[in-house]
């Protein structure tokens, strides 16, 4: 038996800022430099990926990507910080969850 936990970072009004899916989107954009390639890689419509990015930016209160038709798409400094901090949060939450799970089970 194992515990599977999922961390969802939300704004004060409940809007999603970051979860596993959005983390994967930002990681892919960071690797590919392209929303289009990200949408293909993730088998999602371009519009869906763009909507999730815009929703994250709205709920986070800051831009997380810079899109340029000529040079491609990159994460902003704040986008990189958000992604890094979310990874740290996720890792520490899973470690704490494992400790609690092992204490109980």
CA distance 63 to 17: 12
User: Is the overall model pTM greater than 0.85, yes or no?
Assistant: yes
Domains parsed from the chain with CATH numbers: 9-104 (1.10.10.10)
Is the distance from CB of 64 to CB of 81 less than 8 angstroms? no
8-64 tens-digit pLDDT: 999 999 999 999 999 999 999 999 999 999 999 999 999 999 999 999 999 999 999
CB count, 10 Å around CB of 28?
A: 19
Residue labelled with tokens 């519009």: 47
């Amino acid at each position: 038996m194992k515990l599977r936990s999922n961390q969802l970072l939300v704004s004060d009004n409940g809007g999603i800022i970051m979860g596993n899916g959005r983390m994967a989107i930002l990681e892919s954009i960071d690797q590919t430099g392209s929303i289009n390639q990200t949408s293909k890689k993730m088998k999602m419509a371009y519009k869906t990926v763009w909507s999730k990015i815009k929703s994250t930016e709205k709920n986070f209160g800051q831009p997380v990507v810079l899109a340029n038709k000529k040079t491609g798409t990159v994460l902003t400094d704040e986008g990189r910080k958000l992604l890094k901090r979310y990874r740290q949060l996720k890792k520490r939450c899973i470690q704490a969850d494992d400790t609690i799970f092992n204490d109980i089970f």
